[in-house]
Structure formats: C-alpha cells, structure tokens
Structure 1
C-alpha cells in the first residue's frame, strides 16, 4: 500500500529583461507615468518562486525643491503560491531614488481583504508614498523591493527582490524651490523640544505638525505647545515639544502656510523606560537593566511519512472469508503556523486490484486511527474506526481550532488496518493506494 502527501507548490513565471519600458506621454507639470516589466525573486516560508511583474510608476513631471510630492507604483497580480486561502493582506515596499538625490521612498497600500483561494493569484495593485525633494535636477524613480504580509489563518510574509537593477520608470524635473525650513535638533527624544526656522515665507501665521517619514499621517497630539509665525522679512520661527506618546523613529516636521507645505526630516528616539523596580534607589554603577525582545515568525503546516510500502499479512484461501492485517507507515504533522486554526488529516483508498484484473473493494479495509501529540503541543483527536472509501474521505487525525488560543506543535498519526478477503477471491498480489490529505 502506498500513499501520497500534499506539498507547497511554487509558481513559475516567464522572466523578461528589466528595462522593457513603455514610452511615457506627459507634459511639464502633469503626472508622469511609465510601465515596465521587472523580474522578481520571491520567498514564502522556504519556497522560492519567480514573479514577473508589470509595474507602472507615477510621479509629477516637474516640481520645486522642497516640495513633498506623491509617488505611486501599480503592480500586476502576484502568482498564487500560498497553500491556504488568504483572508487579508498588506503590501509595502520601496521605490529607488537616484539622480539629483538618492535613497529610497517607502510605499504602502491599505489593507486588502479576500478571500483569495489557495494557490490563487494575489492582487497587489497600487502602493503610494511621499517624497520630499531636497535639491534641483532630475530625480529618477525605479521599482524596489516588495513585501506582502498575509493572513492565511497564520501570518505569512512574502518578500520579493528584483533580480537585477530595474530601469527608471519616472523622472521628476526639480527646479528652484520656494520657502524653505530646517529643524533643530535633527534628533530629539520623546518629550524633547524642537525649533524650526526658515525663509521665503509670507508674513503672517503658519502651522507645524509632526508626521510620519513620508510627511503623511500627521497627528495633532504628537506636538504640544506648538507656535509658528513669519515676520515681515519672510523669516519663519516655530517651536514645539514632541509628546512622550509620539511614535519613535523616522518622522518629519511639516510646515504649512495656505497651500504651501514643506516637510523636514526629524528622528524621534524613545525615552528610556522607567526601571521595573529591581534597581530603584540603587547606584547606577551597581545595578542595571536590559530589555530583551523576541520575534516569533510563523512557519508552515506540513506532513511527512516513513518511507516504504505497507505489507499486509498474507492469507491462504480455504473456502471461508479471511482477514489480513497490518499498520500504516507513521505520519508526522508539524503545525508551525502560530495561529488559532486547527487542521485535519484525511484519507481515501482505491479498490485493491491484481494483475489478473480481479478486485477487492476499498470498503473491505477498515482502519483504527491512533494519534499522539509531542510535549508542549496542542490537542489531537483520532478519527473514528471504520471502513475507507474511494471518494468519501475518512478522518485519520485532527486538531480543533483554538477558540482564541494558539494551537500547534508536532503530532504523530498512524492506524492499524484490517482487510476482509472474501472466500471467492482470485489468487495473486493485490495493491491499493491510500491518499492522505492535510488541510
């Protein structure tokens, strides 16, 4: 008796040169867009696959130094490789910036919901970011890396990297700018004060806000005591305190006056957390604390089996029904998803056939499932003892959903089997195939 098992399937795509770019049609100052084909190499868990993406990058054809502009990239669907349905996913990545300035600009799309069926293509669509132009000249944009964080019962991350340097798909012609601004200090701790100065502004009131690294997602509560004004000579003077609750990391101070908007980079560092109490009142050179962090990444749901075939005990015809017995090769199930979704291992069986063409029905074979859970693993339940069928799957072992609790671990599955051999059975060697499916 042989058996088969499911496997994670990769998807192959035809790879074309990164540089096949359509000719853009854009007037000065209007949106500039071009499409190209970019060959990516992607990874999900331990599976590597190709993604031959069609990417369209959109950006203004012209702007001024100091402007913060919106840039977009639209991606074709990702090949379907996920072995489970995807309920929702979030796409993020970067665009490479070169020419008059260099670096990368983060781009992201809002969370999307499915479901996308198992092995179904995943729509990527449009990702958007904000780029602050720091000087004059030609600024080129090209696709960069891409990350898809998917929820398929457990978290799965798909990372895609260009196989070669992609071609430029958009260029911004940056001219002399208008009002400028700078922030001091450029790095501030949560709860610290900053001052902003600049020139070329219109006399009167102005506004400042603390925003994300792209000059977006500004939160009113992230700055306290903010003041900003411009004198008769066009000189900007502003000050504020970064709230202790403001998110740490790469941020921007955004200055606004009417329709004019300037974003200035600012790094916010986390304020030292208070001690747990173990070192309270102790000299700093005698007692210290270190925070220890752990990141746990989810893995796949997999199965494996002992090699070889199952040989039942031989029988000798004697005019009466007889019984042949044996045991299935042991199966190991590993649930490393780190989620709350259970699993089921089921089987179907073909009829027993011989070289002479005679058969023994699949239903003549019954099994008695046996399941074990390794130390620290969740609960596993054996299926019911009974006959197998050619089409209706019988459960060998299953693990229930966690009902809000994390499930997973390593499990063993097997079964004793018994085959009824009718008295009127042709002599010969009989073979059937058992198919086990993990879902």
Structure 2
C-alpha cells in the first residue's frame, strides 16, 4: 500500500514567479549568457513546470562558412519519476535568428544513475554544430527539450517553453573563405548525403570522397553528385556514397578552382543480405519470421501535486458558512501488467486550531473526479459525501477481473466543501487527509 498525506488549511495563498535574469558575456573567445526559461513538461499524462536556468555558449566571432559548436547547459529537471531512473538521454533544439534563421539540433551522451524515485534529474550540457551561412549577427536561444529515461520501462519527458525565450548568445559572423558541411555525418555504403556551405563563387563546385586526411581521393566513390553555389555564394548539393566505397573515417573534399575545404564523413559498411535458403520449408513459408518480445511488469505507484490545500476563508455571521477548494491532483501509475484492480481511499482528521477548538472531519464533503490517460483501463470515481476519521471513503477505483488486464496512468482529484457551524471559534484550522492506494 502507498499513503500520502495532505494538509488542508482554511486560508488562501498567493505564489509569484521571478522573471529572467541575464548574465554578462564571458571573456575570451566564447560568448555566453544565463537566463530563466519557464518550460511546461509532460510525462505520460502528467504535466509539470520546469523553471530552467539555462546558459548558452557559442563563439563570440567566426567566419561565414565555419561550422561552430553551440552549447546549452540546463539546470536539474524536477523529480517527477515515481521509480528510480537508471539512465537517460537528452536532446533538443536551439533557435537561430538574425543573419540566418532556423534551428540547431542538440544532444548529449547517455548518462547513468541511478537517480532515486522523485529525485532531481541532472541535465547539464547539451551541444550541437551550426554552419554559418553568411556575415552578420547570429543570435542563439533555447527551444524545446526531450529527455528519454529508463526506469524499468522507457519514459519520454517533453518540455516546451511557455513563451519565446530571448537569445542568450551572439556570434559576430564575418565574411570568410569557402566552407561546407555534410549531413548526416555518418552514412552507410550506398547512402546519400547533403551538402551546405557559404563563401563560394557562384557556379559549379567539385565534390570527391577521400581518406580522412583529404588525400587518396577516389572519383568513383561518389555518384549522382550535384553541387553548386548561388549568386550569394551559398552551397547546396547532394551525393550518393558508392556501395564499393571503403568504410571507415573518410573526408569529402569540396573544391572550386584553387579554393577547397575538407569535411569529415564516416562511412559504415552495409550489412549484406542473408545468403541461406529455406531448405526443407514450403516456399510459401520462406518469408515468415517469428518475432518475440518480453514485457516485464512494474509496480503500482502514487504521486501527488506539491503543496497544501487552502480552502476559501469564511467570515462568521451567525449562520452556517461554507469553505470550498480542490484536492491536489494525485497520479496513480499501474505498471503491474496483471488483472488485479486497485482502489484509492481517504480518511481525514478533525480540523483543529491553535486554540484547541475543532470542526469535525465529517463536516468536509468531497466530490471525487477520476480520469484515465489514453490507453489506460477504466477507472471509476467514488461517491460524493462526507469524510471520516476512521471509515475510509473511496476516491477512485480501477476494477479488475479474470481476463481483464488493468493498467496505465490515472489522475484523481476532488472538489471539497467544508461546512463551518455558526458557533465556531475564530482562527486558522488544519486537518490532515491520508490517501491509501491498495
């Protein structure tokens, strides 16, 4: 069984959030600034806030055609995972504006834990490469973020800025010699790559595949080559790596007259098709392949929205009064993969004040509300009615049964209504609601 306790108080609270704070540029060859970026994130059916502190770093200056590294350093993600996180990978984008526009994919190598359940998840530095296409001021700003966590099962956390973040790094791009970039940076034999760049003379360019040092070029290693520069000197093109091209660390050399540049490319070996025949099998069954998968069950867990429940204040006037509010949202995750159902019930202590006066627990009634996330099994809200100090009232149930698998993510809440008698001592009253998942 899992239990959670929530304090209910008879007064309202106001919470304010601070705005972004920028830091000055770093000295030296890098330019960086730090700001607050409010994100809205989602994991399964749950939505939560992530007020990230983000530092974006990029070269203070570079030349058109250069491929530069840009980096974003994120503060820890709030602890929302109900299970220990064993490993996680982070990816996202940075937006580019000013002299050029678009976005830069950023990523970080897999990190390993374990991080305890509900522990903050370190994000840290996430980087990518940007090819500068022309002179001018290029501004870099944070954008979306995705975290894929392994916690017995895979969970994807997607975070989107609540508003458009301001730029946190600026690159002063000057006119430069010709430059080029290749995408993807790794390709299988027979695959196709695209070329981009800047700083070239208008017209055709030559493209060949060479060894990693840019020597021993093999004209036959690239086919279907189309590459040229427009009137602004922007390079576009594509080429297919021949299936006979030698695998390993290679380089694409782009040249135009006496100007040339080298771009690293990794060529991976194409997996040969199977050579076996279907001996002893019917011809119609030769194409059949059996595919197996093992699905491991997880736990039944419960988490709740942070904070206390503040009911609306009342003013005594000689008649019965009503204080209302809403229960903090509770999330239940049933990952057991079985047919056993579950129930979420609650008991409540009496409301007490510092002076020792009380309002009975039975004066608080709730109206349960329960929602199943997409793909989850059915869930049923409990009946509206008063709470009690000893007899548990049902908030939500998920019925089980023979042959019916129960599981998924569920959200539970309730409207609250407290009857305040006309003869009640003035003061601040507190009660504790205990929810039990079984």
TM-score normalized by the length of structure 1: 0.48
- Larger RCO (CA under 8 A, 6+ residues apart): 2
TM-score normalized by the length of structure 2: 0.48
